[in-house]
Structure 1
Amino acid sequence: MNTEIYRLIDSHAHLDEVEDIEAAVREARQAGVAAIIAVGQDYESNLKVLELSEKYRPVVYPALGLHPWSLGNMDNAAIDMNLRFIEDNIEIAVGVGEVGLDYHKRVRAVTEKEQQKDVFRFVLELARKYDKAVSVHSRYAWRDGFDLVKECKVRKVVFHWYAGFSSVLRDIVAEGYFISATPACEYHDEHRKSVRQVPLENLLLETDAPVTYGRETRYESRPSDVVRTLRAVARLKGVEQGVVAERTTENAVRLFGLTA
């Protein structure tokens, strides 16, 4: 088994939700993780990722977001407050995220598609104005998510944990956007298919920590588990781990404008 340590970037983690954050950052560094993009999903988590980026500089970088799952718990005033906070602090963030659309029936039951689109369009316009990367959530909304991003003329985009249609993936690649792979590419058929199809030039690695992964053996992920993503991607694509690590890290540095 290859035990070499590679320079990696976890391009999408909910670090504010990870148990024992200090230990998680230390473990990640020991595993070769040079940077963690800590994404927010509402006002409270956005505040936290800003704090974490200060505490763990230069390893942790903040992205500010308003997740479609969060909208169902908010009235219009709360949504406006969340969006204002993102706008007021966007210049100190490396990106906008996690933001996007979710058309799963449980989400649509509490947040209509048009409201999701309005919020997503607002943050996309911010990203374009301030030239920030966007980490896009697009579950069951792959075509609409792509179309809105293109409509708003945003250039720096990663479709996080992509497991959607191959036709949309082709458009993502044609526009020069990225998708990201998670540890789910060890076993999830649609995600594995997307990772196989996408060129390395359009791929990032992530964990989406603390998401629980696995089928036979379940585990709660941490940023250090981006190593699992690396190994799975290398196997799927038939490429050496070092090649995958170098290329995906270069991609993340370029997309987010990192100094890691």
Structure 2
Amino acid sequence: MAAGGFVDCHCHMTAEEFIQDTEEILERSRKEGIQALVSVTESTGEFERLIQLSESYPNYLMPCFGIHPIQKKSDGYHSVTIKDLEPALSQFDKYKDHLVAIGEIGLDFTPWLTPSPKDREEQLKVFQLQLDIAKRLDLPVNVHSRSAGRQTIAFLKEQGVEKVLLHNFAGRPSAALEGVKAGYFFSFPPAVTKNNQREKLIRQIPLENICLETDSPALGPDKEERNVPSNIHIPCEYIAGVKGLSPEAVRQATTHNALRLFAKIRHKLNR
């Protein structure tokens, strides 16, 4: 199994913030020791661009398709609906051989974004339909769970989903440990260093269940600056400090974990 560098398990290389210098960012990522980038989508409009990028960087940029629970529209942000998912449905099958996971999908029960029970019900439907796709295609899921950590883990277990990455998890340790029991993985971005509550969470989650991510261009070390994949060393060093380990031990363990979860990445890197 290849384990010579970092795996960024959750980033957004098709984000608007990267359009001007995508190639420079990816080349720098390689030089900084990242051996694979797992790039997720939030809406159907990103799908074609992501496939093109992955073909330009084969066996390096690993694509995931997903419809995020919060959708950006011309008049602001809205909770996802089935209509947002419908244009994506045919694309999952069309590009299934390219995909390493389904994501970014999940639940976001932030009160001002999902004010009504109807919004939450619709989110659950969209989430379930994408979980069904993941199970049918035998792919892991890359999951968002803001203000819904416990509900997300309970729903994943109820749906019988086994291969799960809970990205930037911010729920209670007791909820996380339910995910650990189910064999789920948890990833943390550079912004974790700014949040004291995460220390307790990271201390309680076994290293065998932890992966690294940047969520770039968001959740970097500085809110005012664009985050980039080469910041992956920041959560690695932070987790090492919390667990009393060397950064190298954390890098090796998290890469091993990522390659266990994302089987298609492991196969691509071993070619």
The TM-score normalised by the length of structure 2 is 0.88
Alpha-carbon displacement from aligned partner over 1:97-154 (angstroms, at most 9, x marks no partner): 0000000012204870000000000111111122101011000111111111111211
Aligned to 2:75: none
Mapped partners of 1:75, 1:101: distance in 2: 12
Within 2, Cα distance between the matches of 1:146 and 1:195? Answer: 17
- Choose which of 86, 92, 96 in structure 2 pairs with 1:86: 92
Q: Quick check: 1:100–1:138 contact (8 Å CA) kept in 2?
A: yes
**Counterpart in the other structure of 2:36:** 35
Aligned sequence identity (%): 31
**2:161 equivalent among 135, 154, 167:** 154
Match of 2:229 among 215, 220, 223: 223
CA distance in 1, matches of 2:127, 2:23: 32
Asked whether the equivalents of residues 70 and 80 of structure 2 are also in contact (C-alpha less than 8 Å), the reply is no
- Aligned partner of 2:185: which letter? F
Match of 1:234 among 223, 237, 240: 240
Give the corresponding residue for 1:247: 253
Pairing 1:104-253 to 2, within 5 Å after superposition: 104-109=110-115, 112-214=119-221, 218-253=224-259
- Asked if the contact 1:39/1:63 (under 8 Å) is kept, the reply is yes
Structure 2 distance, partners of 1:158, 1:73, is 22
Q: How far is the alpha carbon of 1:73 from its aligned partner?
A: 7.5
5+ residue gaps, structure 2, are 73-77
Which of 9, 13, 16 is matched with 2:14 structurally?
16
TM-score by length of 1: 0.91
Contact kept, 8 Å, 1:142 with 1:164, in 2: the verdict is: yes
Shift in Å, 1:232: 1.2
Q: 1:226 to 1:152 in 2, by over 3 A?
A: same
Secondary structure at 2:95's aligned position in 1?
Answer: helix
- Tell me the distance in 2 between the aligned counterparts of 1:148 and 1:58: 32
- 1: distance between equivalents of 2:151 and 2:55? 35
Per the alignment, residue 68 of structure 2 pairs with: 67
* C-alpha contact (below 8 Å) 2:221/2:227 kept by paired residues: no
Per-residue Cα deviation, 1:201-255 (whole angstroms, up to 9, x for no partner): 000000000015346x743210111111211111111111111001100111111
Aligned partner of residue 40 in structure 1, secondary structure: coil
The residue aligned with 1:7 is 5
Q: Give the secondary structure class of the aligned counterpart of 2:146.
A: coil
Q: Which runs of 5+ in 1 are unaligned?
A: 1-5
Output the CA distance in 2 between the equivalents of 1:107 and 1:221: 24
Mapped to 2, the partners of 1:133 and 1:33 lie a distance apart of: 21
Question: Matched residues in 1 for 2:170 and 2:13: separation?
Answer: 23
Does the 8 A contact of 1:133 with 1:256 survive in 2? Answer: yes
Q: CA RMSD in A?
A: 1.9
Looking at structure 2, the residues matched to 42 and 54 of structure 1 have their Cα atoms a distance apart, in angstroms, of 20
Shift of 1:92: 2.2
| Counterparts of 1:214 and 1:158, CA distance in 2 | 22
How far 1:55 sits from its partner (Å)?
A: 0.9
Q: Per-residue CA shift, 1:150-202, capped at 9, x if unaligned?
A: 11211110100011011111111111110001112212122232222211100
